[in-house]
Structure formats: structure tokens, C-alpha cells
């Protein structure tokens, strides 16, 4: 079961006891975090912030360094304690947990993936991944099994007995992710997990996260300073600046209605081809033939619709190829099966336009769009892509 997260009027303040006390009194005044720091010496990292995150949502918090995003995510397992306000996860207010209640929450309900991986360098990959279960006292055999599943899931099978220093950065973060998944948390906290990786690996990891997220039922809170990453991953995004939220919304809403010039500046560099997904601009195929259909029937159908060709699937809607109208006219056969041009240039519906762009140029006709099981789901039109990228 995924959990919803409700943060209500929450503030995080750093400083000495005296400084914090003075700063907390100023929180409700009309002052920025900077002004409060000048006045009291305390750093207000998060100021009067409220967010509601739905169950199963992939929520991204984005902002420059020092904007308070890391301080925010670290309140969700109380690595930072809020100066005031409440954090409710699945109906439970974290600030009211006893120390054993908090330990149990950390063990079972929320896991964190760290920016610099934070692996235990004295333990093998396997021992790292089973650590969360080990502290819970899970029996060796059982935790081995669970940890192995997590290792397989992130694609590190075969590396179980390697030490972290033998792995590349990307692989280390896979270990970090596997470790965070072993205790099957309902809330996954990812604190700039891919920022330390080089861009190519980063994109791979993002894709894999989306794939995992598709299969998992858990709420994910993801922190990043990279707007492209935020838009690629997030169902919703919150942009933070100076300890406060500037705008919350879906990627579309950010483009359509940027809340301020700051937001506009922030998304100026965002490459739309990497953010817009194929499925959001594809259209339904006009007529689809099935293997075993008669030539005559298909010919009539295409003629009626004035189409030059149509796609062909099998009984399970699995994409097979396409068939030309001119071939249908010449043919004297019974079924269309022999006339099908087999074609493997297809595009995954969750792919980004950037990928589609290259394939569109290769393709002879429009690009068929398929889902994860290879079923035909739509058609991507060259003109539509150009149009989508233009505005």
C-alpha cells in the first residue's frame, strides 16, 4: 500500500537554540528566509511549507542548491526535525512518534536513496542490500532471498559479492536503490540520487526508475536540481526557491501557466523533446487489418477511407507490419498474410519525442506506436510532432 504524504505549515530552522527560537517567532511575519537570517542568525531552510502528495504519486521537488529541497525531504524520515508544523504520512504524524515508533517507521515505511550513494564500503553489494533487513532481525536465509530479488530488480545480478569500490557510479546507485527497496517501503525518498552520475547514465537510470515505478505501488518523492530530470519523471513538480514553494503542478501546467518570471527562467532551458512523451501526441490508427483478413475486405476498407496503407496486427493486437493499397489491388490471393511488409520500426508509447524524431526520419510512413507488450496503440504523425515542438 502506498501512503499519502501531507505536510502542513512545516518549517525547518538551523542554528543555536537561541537563534532558532528567535527565528521561529518571525516565521509568521512577512519576511523572507534571508531577512530572518540577517535578523536572528538562524537559517530557515524550509518556511511554512504545505504540500499534499497522493498515494502512488511520483512527486518531484526541484530547486537550486540552498533552496531547501534537501532539508525538506530529510524531514520525511526525521533526519531533520521540523521546527514547527506537521508531517503526516499515511495518517500518522511523524513528529509525534516515540523513538521506537520512529525506528519502526524508518525500518518499514520509508527508505532513502542518497546523492553520494552512502554505501557501507566494508560490505559487499549483497550485504549492503540486506542491511535494512538485518537491523530488523530478519533471518539470514529470508533476507538473502529478499535482497537477491531487489538486486535482480535493479539489474545487478552477478555482482552480489563485489565490494562497492569495484563498481561504477551508476552501479553504486543501483545498489543504493536496491537497498532502499528491500524493506518494501511505502514511501521512497530519493535525495538527488542521480546528480553525481554522468548525463548518459543519468538518463538510463531515469528510464529505469520510470519502468520500476510503473510496476511498483509506492509513493516516490524525488529531489533534483535539474529541471529536465524533474519534468521527465514527475507526475507533479514543486519548484522551490529560498525555502518556499514557487509553483506546484504538472509539467504541462508549468509550460502553460508559469507562475512568475523565475519559473519562466527556470524552464527556459528545458528541452521539450526530452519531456513530451509519444503517448501524449499520438493519434488512433484509422483502420487496422488483422492477420487472416481477406484481401477484398481490406481493399474495400482502405478505399472507403482513402488510405494508401494500413497497419496489420495479430489476433492479440500485436503489431506485425503494414500493407500497401497497391499491393492489395494487384493481389489475387485470399488472405492478406503474404502481402504484409514486416516492419520493426516502432516506437514505445512512453518514449520521449527526441527518440521518435530520429525514427520518424527513418520510417517510410508514419510511426506505429506500441505498448510494452508490442501491441499497436496509435500512430505518430510527423507533422504533429513538428507542431508540438514548435510552440
Partner 1 sequence: MWQTIRDFPERLYFDYSVYIDRFVDWLSNTFEWLFDIIRDVILTMFDGVEFVLGVMPWWLYIGLLFIAGWRLYNVKTGVILSLLLFLIGVSGLWDEMIYTLAIIFISVFISFLIGLPTGILMSKSSRLESVLKPILDGMQTLPSFVYLIPALMLLGIGRVPAVFATTIYAVPPLIRLTFLGIKNVDEQVIEAGISFGSTPMQMLFKIELPQALATIAAGLNQTTMMAVAMVVIASMIGARGIGQEVLIAIRQINVGDGFVAGLAIVFVAIILDRLLQGVTARFDQTMETE
Quick check: 378 binds partner 1 (CB under 8 A)?
Answer: no
Nearer to partner 1 by C-beta: 108 or 204? 108
Rule CB under 8 A: choose which of 50, 121, 157, 329 binds partner 1: 121
Quick check: 164 binds partner 1 (CB under 8 A)?
Answer: yes
Q: Least distance in Å: CB of 189 to partner 1?
A: 8
Nearer to partner 1 by C-beta: 35 or 96? 96
Quick check: 79 binds partner 1 (CB under 8 A)?
Answer: yes
Nearer to partner 1 by C-beta: 180 or 263? 180
Rule CB under 8 A: choose which of 11, 77, 313, 320 binds partner 1: 77
Rule CB under 8 A: choose which of 183, 206, 224, 298 binds partner 1: 183
Nearer to partner 1 by C-beta: 76 or 302? 76
Pairwise CA distance, residues 63 & 45, whole Å: 12
Quick check: 97 binds partner 1 (CB under 8 A)?
Answer: no
Quick check: 107 binds partner 1 (CB under 8 A)?
Answer: yes
Quick check: 106 binds partner 1 (CB under 8 A)?
Answer: yes
Nearer to partner 1 by C-beta: 186 or 366? 186
SS (H, E, C) the chain: CCCCEEEEEEEEEECCHHHHHHHHHHCCCCCCHHHHHHHHCCEEEEEEEEEEECCCCEEEEECCCCCCHHHHHCCCCCCCCCCEEEEEECCEEHHHCCHHHHHHHHHHCEEEECCCCCCCCCCCHHHHHCHHHHCCCCCHHHHHHHHHHHHHHCCCCCCCCCCHHHCCHHHHHHHHHHHHHHCCCCEEEEECCCCCCCHHHHHHHHHHHHHHHHHCCCEEEEEECCHHHHHHHCCEEEEEECCEEEEEECHHHHHHCCCCHHHHHHHHCCCHHHCCEHHHCCECCCCEEECCCEHHHHHHHHHHHCCCEEEEECCCCEEEEEEEHHHHHHCCCCECHHHCEECCCCEECCCEHHHHHHHHHHCCCCEEEECCCCEEEEEECHHHHHHHHHC
Quick check: 294 binds partner 1 (CB under 8 A)?
Answer: no
Q: Least distance in Å: CB of 112 to partner 1?
A: 5
Quick check: 92 binds partner 1 (CB under 8 A)?
Answer: no
Nearer to partner 1 by C-beta: 71 or 320? 71
Quick check: 112 binds partner 1 (CB under 8 A)?
Answer: yes
Quick check: 71 binds partner 1 (CB under 8 A)?
Answer: no
Rule CB under 8 A: choose which of 19, 40, 115, 247 binds partner 1: 115
Rule CB under 8 A: choose which of 81, 103, 211, 283 binds partner 1: 103
Q: Which stretch binds partner 1 (CB under 8 A): 112-120, 290-298, 302-310, 342-350?
A: 112-120
Interacting residues toward partner 1 by CB under 8 A: 77, 79, 103-108, 110-112, 114-123, 131-132, 134-136, 163-165, 179, 183
Amino acid at each position: 500500500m502506498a501512503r499519502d504524504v501531507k505536510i502542513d505549515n512545516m518549517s525547518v530552522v538551523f542554528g543555536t537554540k537561541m537563534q532558532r527560537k528567535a527565528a521561529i517567532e518571525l516565521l509568521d511575519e512577512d519576511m523572507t528566509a534571508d531577512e530572518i537570517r540577517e535578523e536572528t542568525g538562524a537559517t530557515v531552510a524550509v518556511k511554512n511549507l504545505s504540500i499534499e502528495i497522493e498515494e502512488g504519486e511520483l512527486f518531484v521537488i526541484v530547486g537550486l542548491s540552498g533552496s531547501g529541497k534537501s532539508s525538506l525531504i530529510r524531514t520525511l524520515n526525521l533526519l531533520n526535525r521540523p521546527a514547527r508544523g506537521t508531517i503526516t504520512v499515511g495518517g500518522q504524524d511523524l513528529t509525534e512518534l516515540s523513538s521506537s515508533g520512529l525506528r519502526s517507521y524508518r525500518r518499514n515505511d520509508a527508505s532513502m536513496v542518497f546523492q553520494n550513494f552512502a554505501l557501507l564500503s566494508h560490505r559487499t553489494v549483497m550485504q549492503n542490500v540486506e542491511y535494512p533487513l538485518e537491523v530488523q532481525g530478519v533471518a539470514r536465509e529470508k533476507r538473502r532471498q529478499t535482497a537477491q530479488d531487489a538486486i535482480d530488480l535493479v539489474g545487478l545480478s552477478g555482482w552480489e559479492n563485489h565490494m562497492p569500490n569495484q563498481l561504477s557510479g551508476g552501479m553504486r546507485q543501483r545498489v543504493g536503490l536496491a537497498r532502499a527497496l528491500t524493506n518494501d517501503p511505502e514511501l521512497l525518498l530519493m535525495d538527488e540520487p542521480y546528480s553525481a552520475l554522468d548525463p548518459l547514465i543519468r538518463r538510463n537510470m531515469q528510464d529505469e526508475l520510470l519502468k520500476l515505478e510503473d510496476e511498483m505501488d509506492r509513493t516516490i518523492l524525488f529531489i533534483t536540481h535539474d529541471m529536465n530530470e524533474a519534468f521527465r519523471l514527475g507526475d507533479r513538480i514543486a519548484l522551490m526557491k529560498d525555502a518556499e514553494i514557487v509553483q506546484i503542478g504538472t509539467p504541462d501546467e508549468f509550460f502553460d501557466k508559469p507562475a512568475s518570471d523565475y519559473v519562466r527562467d527556470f524552464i527556459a532551458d528545458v528541452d521539450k523533446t526530452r519531456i513530451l512523451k509519444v503517448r501524449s501526441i499520438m493519434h488512433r490508427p484509422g483502420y487496422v487489418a488483422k492477420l487472416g483478413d481477406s484481401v477484398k475486405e481490406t481493399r474495400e476498407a482502405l478505399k472507403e477511407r482513402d488510405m494508401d496503407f494500413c497497419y496489420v496486427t495479430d489476433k492479440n493486437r500485436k503489431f506485425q507490419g503494414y500493407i500497401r493499397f497497391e499491393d492489395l489491388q494487384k493481389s489475387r490471393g485470399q488472405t492478406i498474410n503474404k502481402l504484409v511488409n514486416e516492419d520493426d520500426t516502432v516506437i514505445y508509447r512512453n518514449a520521449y519525442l527526441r527518440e521518435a524524431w530520429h525514427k520518424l526520419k527513418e520510417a517510410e510512413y508514419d510511426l506505429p506506436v506500441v505498448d510494452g507488450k508490442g501491441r499497436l496503440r496509435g500512430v505518430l504523425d510527423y507533422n504533429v510532432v513538428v507542431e508540438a515542438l514548435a510552440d
